[in-house]
Amino acid sequence: MFEGFRRIQVQTSDPAVKINLRYGGSGPAVLLIHGNPLTHVHWHLVAPRLAEKFTVVATDLRGYGDSGKPRGQPDHANYSFRRMALDHIEVMQHLGFDRFCVAGHDRGARAACRMALDHPERVSRLATFDILPTHHVLTQATWQWAVNSYHWFFMAQPYDIPEKLIEGKEDYYIIQKLTRMGIGKGGFSPETLAEYARCCTPENIHAVCEDYRAGVTIDMAMDSEDFEAGRKINCPTAIYWGEKSHTNRFYDPFKAWPQYCADIRRMKPLPCGHYPAEQVPDMVFEELNSFFAE
């Protein structure tokens, strides 16, 4: 897994957080950011192939994998997508890249969108996998979506209610979360499931809760301000989602995304659920390999 890649940790401007990552290949830089409850391993079937043409950087978000997991702040700002985006700007600067392409899945895609808004001079191209903008998700939510995506609100409950309810049951939680709870799940190898279970610790669960607490508070406030001001993502953007996922079942990406992105080059459903890079890795590779080379 990730043969030929180097593994390092990069200190961010937050003293409590080093970002764990693997990087390899040569050529223009491509940053890959995973979602919840995964790690950089999510990209293991895609990254080595992209590295034949690009320098590929695959990170663990703060709070996930082997990256730093600080305690949440009262306003949850240290788990906001703005802070996660800044982590990655600093990582790429450390590696010598001032401008790069970025692909994100799930929470990683939300961090990537915030990066494109906050640091447009750094993001040359953006690809998102199986999300809709947070502002759209929360303002257009239905009870059917809420039942399927219950974790958005369960994990966002006040400290330390969800943490204590999951404590001691992390292995059970992570396996059920990835294979049974909600639509579009599964498609993982035993090796990757074992890695995600290894990383599902009490510290990680607290971080995930802080991520979701930030999502419905400080992140939503930022996104609402941008939307009301008419600010959009301006870089060339590719939007992908799973035909069998909640994104496709409960929303219409074709109607939603143009409200938030000014330069959409590709919009395409993929024949998979919520985890395209592990469920249809060949298609994900082909899309990113061609889109980032344009």
Q: How many residues does the chain have?
A: 294
For 161-185, letters b (16+ CB in 10 Å) and e give ebbeebeeebeebbbebbeeebbbb
Strand partners, 237: 126, 264
Alpha-carbon distances of 49 from 39, 45, 190, 247, 288, rounded to whole Å: 18, 8, 21, 27, 10
Q: What is the CATH number of the domain that holds 148?
A: 3.40.50.1820
Asked if residue 1 is part of any domain, the answer here is: no
Within a domain: 96: yes
> Helix, strand, or coil here: 19?
strand
How does pLDDT run along the chain (294 residues), one tens digit per residue? Answer: 999 999 999 999 999 999 999 999 999 999 999 999 999 999 999 999 999 999 999 999 999 999 999 999 999 999 999 999 999 999 999 999 999 999 999 999 999 999 999 999 999 999 999 999 999 999 999 999 999 999 999 999 999 999 999 999 999 999 999 998 888 899 999 999 999 999 999 999 999 999 999 999 999 999 999 999 999 999 999 999 999 999 999 999 999 999 999 999 999 999 999 999 999 999 999 999 999 999
Any domain includes 130:
yes
Q: Which residues fall within 8 angstroms of residue 228, CB to CB, at 6 or more apart?
A: none
The helix/strand/coil state of 200 is coil
For every residue of 91-130, DSSP letters joined together read HHHHTT-SSEEEEEETHHHHHHHHHHHH-TTTEEEEEEES
Assess if residue 170 is contained within a domain: yes
- On whether residue 266 sits in a domain, the answer given is yes
Domain total in the chain: 1
In this structure, is residue 237 part of a structural domain? Answer: yes
Q: Is 287 among the domain residues?
A: yes
Q: 125: domain range? A: 6-291
CA atoms of 227 and 13, how far apart (whole Å): 29
In a domain, 197, yes or no: yes
Positions marked catalytic: 106, 274
Q: Comparing C-alpha atoms, which of 217, 129, 202, 207 is closest to residue 168?
A: 202
Q: Whole-angstrom Cα distance, residue 246 to residue 220?
A: 20
